[in-house]
Amino acid sequence: MEPERPEGNGSGESGELAPKGRGAGLVSRARAQGLALKERAEAEAKTYKDPQQTQLWKSIFRVSHDRSDPRNRSLAILSNVFLHLHPAKVNRDATRYSFTWGMGGITFYLFIVLTFTGILLMFYYHPTKVQAFRDILYLEHDVPFGKLLRNMHRWAAHLMIITTWLHMFRVVLTGSYKRPREFNWCVGVVLLVLTLLLSFTGYLLPDDQLGFWAVTVGTNMARSTPMLGSEGPFGPQMGMTPFNDVRFGLLGGSIVDSNALLRSYIWHCIGIPVVASLFMAVHFWRIRKDGGISGPAPVMLESEMKAVKK
């Protein structure tokens, strides 16, 4: 908005007011121009009082969220990259906590918390036999808030497993895996496995007795894989030895050592999170495509059950 200029401003031709002489004319012209600039700046500054009307704001937020008409409420969701996974409207009873328990959302939120704390932890951690354990000590005793960081990562991981199970439990109790959501249930089962594997691969990283023996116990089972493990049924017949079987592949060696630490680290920080993110994308996308949240749906009656089409 261009503030309107006062009449005759800056032209220096309004003869009546102008004092005589060249020097006097210059001063009065400059004064008049200065006044005009001030007025203009004041008028402009008024427009900045509402930050939401500035070009900068409008370039970031595409719609105004301060009015609560239906169009704006819908746009608030639809035009936001983080929220657009949501529909604009939702079953009124689905916003009650008692139906969904919020467990799926909390699981995803914990994944975000874990990514955030995990990235920060990566700054202080080397996946090598020499340094790994010392890095944990360093985190616990020297890094500012290092202990809090590690604790949060640990407890969020445990909590995520519990919330994943409870989410699955709720989906079963509400029959939400039923048509058309069968496939998304399967994606969810894959995500459950990935969650467990994420936690398991992280267990080894402190390189302490707890992680070492837990992973030893866990990977020892892989020895017994049928056909692919050196001690499994038909394993020896397939040419499997402790130095080429599936356990060797998992650990990068025949014992839990430096290669296992590195493999565990890469699976934990890159491999599984990437795969899990892909499955999450499908999982969330399918929720929308399969008709959004499943309920609370109106109850059906036994007497209304249709006969099977044969």
Partner 1 sequence: MSTVIERPRSNRWLLWLVVSLAVVGALALMVDDWGQLWKISSAPDNIPIVMMIPLVVFFTWLGLKQSKDNDKLVGELEEDPALAKSHHRKTQPWRPGWARELHVWPYLVRVEFLAAIIVTIILFVWSILLNAPLEEPANPNLTMNPSKAPWYFLGLQEMLVYFDPWIAGVVMPSLLLVGLMVFPYVDSNPLGNGYYSWRQRRFAVSMFLWGFFMWIILIIIGTFIRGPGWMWFWPGQTWDHNRVVFDRNRDLHEIVAGWGLPFLNLYPWKAIFGAVVVGVVFVTGGLFFHWLMLRRRLEWADIKSPARLKGWAKKNGEFEEKLLARTSILQYLTFQFFAITVLWLFPVKLLLRLLFTIKYIWVTPWFNV
Is residue 254 within 8 A of residue 245, CB to CB? The reply is no
Q: How many residues bind partner 1 (CB under 8 A)?
A: 106
Calculate the CA 292 to chain-centre distance: 20
Binding status of residue 96 toward partner 1 by CB under 8 A: yes
Is residue 126 within 8 A of residue 132, CB to CB? The reply is yes
Binding status of residue 158 toward partner 1 by CB under 8 A: yes
Torsion of CA 292, 293, 296, 300, to 10 degrees: 60
In terms of Cβ atoms closer than 10 Å to its own Cβ (0-12, 13-18, 19+), residue 50 is exposed
Binding status of residue 297 toward partner 1 by CB under 8 A: yes
Among the listed residues 18, 37, 161, 275, the single contact to partner 1 using CB under 8 A: 161
- Least distance to partner 1, CB of residue 54, Å: 23
Binding status of residue 154 toward partner 1 by CB under 8 A: yes
Binding status of residue 162 toward partner 1 by CB under 8 A: yes
- Least distance to partner 1, CB of residue 267, Å: 15
Among the listed residues 44, 50, 93, 142, the single contact to partner 1 using CB under 8 A: 93
- Least distance to partner 1, CB of residue 46, Å: 30
Among the listed residues 62, 126, 178, 288, the single contact to partner 1 using CB under 8 A: 178
- What DSSP string runs through 259-308? HHHHHHHHIIIIIHHHHHHHHHHHHHHHHHHTTSS--SPPPP-GGGPPPP
Q: Taking CB under 8 A as the criterion, which residues in 210-269 touch partner 1?
A: 210-214, 216-218, 220-226, 229, 231-233, 255-256
